[in-house]
Amino acid sequence: KQEVTQIPAALSVPEGENLVLNCSFTDSAIYNLQWFRQDPGKGLTSLLLIQSSQREQTSGRLNASLDKSSGRSTLYIAASQPGDSATYLCAVQDNTNAGKSTFGDGTTLTVKP
């Protein structure tokens, strides 16, 4: 059974800092890994998706990396802003036709002005 762990559970940083969120998974037989953002009381917004054959993806100030062999992914946020405050979830999708996803519990990020 796939298990996904996100560390730390919560993180508080001053505005402008660069930061890294971590995601680890136990079964390396994945199809892809997706990072989401969730604001309080809201739904999930997809940030980045990394296919199993890829090493990283970038979008603006966000960079996600994937090391499938070690079961790890990181989400790097450059020059953090108060608007980045949210919960960040990672999800790994299995490589069956069903494409079922297993989620971590998330990292809640607070960026202080």
Partner 1 sequence: DAGITQSPRHKVTETGTPVTLRCHQTENHRYMYWYRQDPGHGLRLIHYSYGVKDTDKGEVSDGYSVSRSKTEDFLLTLESATSSQTSVYFCAIRPGLEGAPEQYFGPGTRLTVT
**Given the rule CB under 8 A, which residues bind partner 1?**
4, 31-32, 34, 36, 42-44, 46, 49, 51, 89, 91, 93, 97-106
CB–CB of 15/80 below 8 Å?
Answer: yes
- The region, left, alpha or beta by phi > 0 then psi within -120 to 50, assigned to residue 18 is beta
Whose Cβ is closer to partner 1: residue 22's or residue 101's? Answer: 101
In the complex, what is the shortest distance from the CB of residue 20 to partner 1, in angstroms, rounded to a whole number?
Answer: 19
Distance CA 51, CA 65 (A): 10
Whose Cβ is closer to partner 1: residue 52's or residue 63's? Answer: 52
